[in-house]
Amino acid sequence: MSKLLEYLQRVVTDKASDLFLVAGGPICEKLEKRLQPISEDRAYPRDTENLIREIYQLAGRSIDRYLQQGDDDFSFSVAELARFRVNAYRQRGSMAAVVRVVSFEIPNWKSLGIPEQVMNLAAVDHGMVLVTGTAGSGKSTTQACVIDRINRTRECHIITLEDPIEYLHRDRKSIVSQREISIDTEDYPSALRACLRQAPDVILLGEMRDQATIHTAMTAAETGHLLIATLHTKGTVNTIDRIVDTFPSGQQDQIRVQLSMVLHTVVSQQLLPGTRGELVPAFEIMHMNSAIRSLIRDSKTHQIDNAIAAGGGEGMVTMDQSILALCKAGAITPETALSYADNPEQLRRRLG
C-alpha cells in the first residue's frame, strides 16, 4: 500500500475530518478540531509533491491547472474507503494540500443533531433557502441531508451545482443531476443560467460567491424554483447584509425589495465542542414573515434578531436559544455556551 493510501486509510479509521499534506512538519490529521501528527518524520517538499501527484493520478485529473494557477479544488473517491475533497495549493514554493474526508453515504440527520425544523425545509417548493456559517461548520452536510430528504419524498428534478461535488446522490423518487464547476460546466453564473432551461424543481448552489451568481440565484428563486445555497457568513443579519453589500449602492434598495420577496429561510449554524469530545451543531433559524420582510426592505436588519426571538411560534430560533437548549440538555458545558453565544451576558443570566 502506498504512503498516500495509508494516510487516507488512517484518517477514515480515526474518523478525522481533514488530512494536511504540508512540507516543514509531519503529515497531520484534524480530529475534533485538534491537529494530530500521523507520520513519524517531517515531510519535505519532494514528499508532498509525490503525494499530491499521486492524488491527481487517483482522481484522473490533469495537474496542469494547479501548476499554472497555484491552487485547485476537486474531489476523488477510493473504492470501499471514502470520497475526498481536495484543495491543493502552493506555500513557500512547495506543493501542499488539505484533503477533507466525505463519507460515501449521506449521513443520518438525527445522529448529526440536525433539528426537524431544518429537515422540514425539504417540503418548501419555491423561494430561496440559505444555509450559512463559517468554513467547516457543516453547511454542505446539512444541505446534503435536506436534498436527500427531497430525493426520498418528492418526485422532481434536482440539479446541484457544486465546486467540487461532495456527496453523491442516487436517484430515489427524484432525478438528481450533479454538475461540478470547471469539469461539467464553466462557472456558477453560466451553470445557473443554463440550469433554468433544464426543467429544474430544486436547485442546489454550492456557494454564492459573487454579484452575478447572487443576482441569477434570486431570479431563479423568483421564477418558482426552490433554490438552496450556502454563504460563508455567521448569523442571519450578516447574511442579508452581505448579499445587499455585494451590489453597488445605487442598486441596493432594489435588491432589498427583491430579497425580501424571494427569501424563504436562513439557517445559520456553527459547531461547538461537546461534553463527550464530539462536535455539536447549534442552529439559528429565520423564516420570512411580514415583519422581517419590512425590516429587510427598510434597511433595519439590526432589528431582525429581535424578530427571530419573538418568532418561536413560527419555528424560529436564535443562535443563543439553540445554545441554551444544548447546555440545558448537557450536550455542552456552560463555559462553551458562553464562549460561543452572540450575547454572553444575557445568556449568563438565563443560565442562572
Domain topology for 109-317: Rossmann fold (3.40.50)
Count Cβ atoms below 10 Å from residue 302 Cβ, excluding itself: 10
pLDDT of residue 105: 83
Instruction: Name the phi and psi angles at 17, rounded to 5.
Output: -90, -30
CATH code for the structural domain at 3-102 = 3.30.450.90
State how far the Cα of 190 lies from the Cα of 280, in Å rounded to an integer: 37
Domain boundaries, the chain: 3-102, 109-317
Q: What is the CA radius of gyration of the chain?
A: 21
Does this chain's domain 3-102 share its CATH topology with 109-317?
no
pLDDT of residue 291: 97
Instruction: Name the phi and psi angles at 14, rounded to 5.
Output: -75, -10
Can you give the pLDDT of all 352 residues of the chain as single tens digits?
799 999 999 999 998 989 999 999 999 999 877 899 999 999 999 999 999 999 999 999 999 999 999 999 888 999 889 889 999 999 999 999 999 998 778 989 999 999 999 999 999 999 999 999 998 899 999 999 999 999 999 999 999 999 888 888 999 999 999 998 888 898 999 999 999 999 999 999 988 989 999 999 999 999 899 999 999 999 999 999 999 999 999 999 999 999 999 999 999 999 999 998 889 999 999 999 999 999 999 999 999 999 999 999 999 999 999 999 999 999 999 999 999 999 999 999 998 7
Burial (Cβ within 10 Å: 0-12, 13-18, ≥19) of residue 29:
buried
Contacts of 171 (CB under 8 A, 6+ apart): 151
In a 13 Å sphere around the CA of 30, the CA atoms on its Cβ side amount to 12
State how far the Cα of 196 lies from the Cα of 206, in Å rounded to an integer: 16
State how far the Cα of 121 lies from the Cα of 116, in Å rounded to an integer: 9
Nearest Cα to 32, choosing from 15, 44, 56?
15
Q: Do 304 and 294 contact (CB within 8 A), yes or no?
A: no
State how far the Cα of 5 lies from the Cα of 244, in Å rounded to an integer: 45
Instruction: Name the phi and psi angles at 43, rounded to 5.
Output: -85, 130
Contacts of 31 (CB under 8 A, 6+ apart): 14, 15, 16, 17
Q: CA-based diameter of the chain, in Å?
A: 62
State how far the Cα of 275 lies from the Cα of 125, in Å rounded to an integer: 38
Read off the amino acid at residue 148.
D
pLDDT of residue 165: 84
Three cell numbers written together for 225: 424554483
